[in-house]
Structure 1
Amino acid sequence: MDKTYLGDSGLCVSRITLGTMTFGDQNTQEEAENQLDFALAQGINFIDTAEMYPVPPRAETATRTETILGHWIKKQSRDRFVLASKVAGPRRGMDWIRGGPSGMDRANIRQAVHDSLKRLQTDYLDVLYLHWPERNVPMFGQYQFDPAAELDGSGQPIAWVPVQTQLEVMAELIREGKIRAIGLSNEQPWGVMEFLRVAREQGLPRIAVLQNCYNLMNRGLEFGMAEVLYRERISLAAYSPLAFGHLSGKYVEKTNAQGRVTLYLGYAQRYKKPGVPAASAAYAKLARAHGLTPAQMALSFVYHRWFMGTTIIGATNMTQLQENIAAYTVHLSEEVLREIEHLHLTMMNPAP
């Protein structure tokens, strides 16, 4: 498996990352360990998790994924893999995280890391992500910035925790040896540049990696963020390369397909947009016309983009995991890439 460095962190990771957000809901302890062992055997050394996993996030299942991982980690040599987890920020309807986080303040970030390390049965995280911005930004299927959300119920401006405060507590955790590098997730260009500016001016840790959604139906990152990543030497860790399974073709080619779309009705509003079914069908048809499976084409496209650092894949069974990893060896022809671009220009970003 090819490797790359995460930004300027010195952390060398595989071009494919094993995502774990099904562990503890769709996958048992045994199934999770089988996936982890197989991934490492294939040269994958980057494992991604989060304190709120599995997804969909629910109070009764939150933290199960880290606990399952911890049982596996305690049996491993810690230097065999690079481990990332995430701190959840405040979000409506998720006040059960740490009893209802008030924000990305020092107490919340430190508590989240302390609890994650305990569940994961390790002394340190290689990468700590802020799972989403505390401030008002469109994300998880929202696609328009709303200035009205800057105000509280009484019409007063909401006081977001300053970026400097967030960086200062992560600097503490680095000095203490509890984390090695930092990243942002579900972030916008302004946020990335603000974290970089404050880090530079205050001598605080610099972002090494950005974890955002990227797939054939969600290429919004190309409009502005790709330039930021390039000029600032930040690695991209792309999640949802199969668009919640929509780019596997199964929801347009089978009437009884099983997956998160059918298991968790109403979840993942990003893929409830009206253009998603037509785009899914079009990309599946294109793949089949060139002797590829829809998943092979969708994954290969993401794996080999010029700005890609690592791609996070997840699976609910070993067959899926094997196919997803094998797709890394598929290289799309110039003809296929041209036809993908034609479809993209015809039905641009139906799942922002």
Structure 2
Amino acid sequence: MKMNKLGRTGIDVSEFCLGTMTFGTQTKQDEAHAQIDRALAAGINFMDAAEMYPVNPISAETVGRTEEIIGNWFEKTGKRKEWVLATKHSGAGFAHARNGAMISAQTIPEAIEGSLKRLKTDCIDLYQFHWPNRGSYMFRQNWSYDPLKGGMSRDEVIDQMEDCLGALQREVERGTIRAFGLSNESAWGTAQWLAAAERVGGPRVASIQNEYSLVCRMADTDLAEMMMFEDVGLLPFSPLGAGFLSGKYQSGAVPDGSRMSINGDMGGRKSERIFDAVDAYLAVARNFGLDPVHMAFAWSARRPFVASSIFGATTLAQLEHALGAADVTLTPEVLAVLDATHKQHPMPY
């Protein structure tokens, strides 16, 4: 398994990261533990969670269960040190934790303590902010994005960042976290976090976890430039386009237990345009003798600004299939055709 640097932290992570957002709903504990075992055996050393997980669906009764399942695996196996462990602070808009309070110097210690307890560990390797306090254009909000919708002034945004960095630095000194990352963030926001860390101290941003795939390439321009020049690694989530790029939803198919069987519109991703785009990508895979799942995962993981591509699997069989991407090399010819296909089908959801 290829290893990459995580920003400037000195931490090495595998080019694929085990996503865990279904652990506790679609994926029960025994199956989840089997996935952790198999991923580790395949050379994956990076695992991503969040305090709000599992999803599909999110409910007050299940919040934190994913972290608990991971913690139970650590307790059972004693192999905590073999993993680079990432999790996230939810923040504004998530009513099931701290009544939806914004991420702040006050909420950070409480959120970290909760995650540490559930994960049965004394340190989180990468602590991420799940959403910017000021709002985000991710999850199809880009179509009607208003940067000022959150009602915060520039000074308020910067003041909050500096306060949060102070709290994060205290956690670094306490030994509860090692590195800091963002999620659902923009180029401007990341640049401000980097500048604030230079001014007031605190951990430097190491990574950004945003949606990124052959059918969602918003990170390819301004964000890519910032990441390349500032040594901030992208952690793509949904590199399979929420499963669309596997082809399993073509021709009206809705497999039992799939995300679409639970969430019919796929969080706003379902449209005629996505099915046309997927047909085109499936044709590329077919023409070059590639498995479409492997093609999509390999593409996302090998982009020059990507540190590790996050894939989740509901079942062990799906995980086993996905692992084959590690052995796939995409030729310059394939990459050129994928770019041409993207130009024909830009942002299909």
TM-score range, shorter chain: over 0.9
What corresponds to 2:206 in structure 1?
Answer: 208
What corresponds to 1:89 in structure 2?
Answer: 91
Q: Deviations over 1:151-209 (max 9, x none)?
A: 49xxx999656111111111111010000000001100010000001100112210111
Q: Deviations over 1:304-351 (max 9, x none)?
A: 212221111110111211111111211122332222111111111223
Q: CA deviation at 1:280?
A: 1.3
Q: Are 2:79 and 1:107 aligned?
A: no
Shift in CA distance, 297/196, structure 1 to aligned 2, threshold 3 Å: same
Q: Deviations over 1:138-159 (max 9, x none)?
A: 222110431552449xxx9996
* Aligned partner of residue 313 in structure 1, secondary structure: strand
Shift in CA distance, 159/204, structure 1 to aligned 2, threshold 3 Å: closer
Output the TM-score relative to the length of structure 2. 0.94
**Range that drifts further, 220-229 or 293-302:** 293-302
Shift in CA distance, 250/189, structure 1 to aligned 2, threshold 3 Å: same
Q: Output the CA distance in 2 between the equivalents of 1:49 and 1:256.
A: 27
Q: Output the CA distance in 2 between the equivalents of 1:243 and 1:158.
A: 36
Asked whether the 8 Å contact 1:183–1:208 carries over to 2, the reply is yes
What corresponds to 2:172 in structure 1?
Answer: 174
Shift in CA distance, 313/235, structure 1 to aligned 2, threshold 3 Å: same
Shift in CA distance, 109/311, structure 1 to aligned 2, threshold 3 Å: same
What corresponds to 1:19 in structure 2?
Answer: 19
Q: Are 2:136 and 1:137 aligned?
A: yes
**Range that drifts further, 160-169 or 69-78:** 160-169
Residue ranges of structure 2 left out of the alignment (5+ in a row): none
What corresponds to 2:59 in structure 1?
Answer: 58
Asked whether the 8 Å contact 2:138–2:211 carries over to 1, the reply is no
What corresponds to 1:72 in structure 2?
Answer: 73
Q: Deviations over 1:253-281 (max 9, x none)?
A: 56343410222224522x13552121112
Q: Output the CA distance in 1 between the equivalents of 2:197 and 2:156.
A: 21
Output the TM-score relative to the length of structure 1. 0.93
What corresponds to 2:322 in structure 1?
Answer: 324
Q: Output the CA distance in 2 between the equivalents of 1:315 and 1:281.
A: 22
Q: What does residue range 246-257 of structure 1 map to in structure 2 within 5 Å? A: 246-252=244-250, 255-257=253-255
Shift in CA distance, 131/256, structure 1 to aligned 2, threshold 3 Å: closer
* Alignment root-mean-square deviation, CA: 1.9
* Aligned partner of residue 209 in structure 1, secondary structure: strand
Shift in CA distance, 196/273, structure 1 to aligned 2, threshold 3 Å: farther
* Aligned partner of residue 25 in structure 2, secondary structure: coil
What corresponds to 1:189 in structure 2?
Answer: 187
Shift in CA distance, 96/158, structure 1 to aligned 2, threshold 3 Å: farther
What corresponds to 1:217 in structure 2?
Answer: 215
Q: CA deviation at 1:55?
A: 1.1
Which of the residues 309, 312, 324 maps onto 2:310? 312
Q: CA deviation at 1:32?
A: 0.5
**Code of the aligned partner of 2:205:** I
* Aligned partner of residue 149 in structure 1, secondary structure: coil
Q: Output the CA distance in 2 between the equivalents of 1:78 and 1:240.
A: 26
Asked whether the 8 Å contact 1:212–1:236 carries over to 2, the reply is yes
Asked whether the 8 Å contact 1:101–1:108 carries over to 2, the reply is no
What corresponds to 2:261 in structure 1?
Answer: 262
**Range that drifts further, 76-85 or 41-50:** 76-85
Asked whether the 8 Å contact 2:182–2:207 carries over to 1, the reply is yes
Asked whether the 8 Å contact 2:166–2:201 carries over to 1, the reply is no
Q: Report how many residues are paired.
A: 344
Q: Deviations over 1:189-241 (max 9, x none)?
A: 01000000110011221011111111000111011111111110111111110
Q: CA deviation at 1:23?
A: 0.3
Asked whether the 8 Å contact 1:22–1:54 carries over to 2, the reply is yes
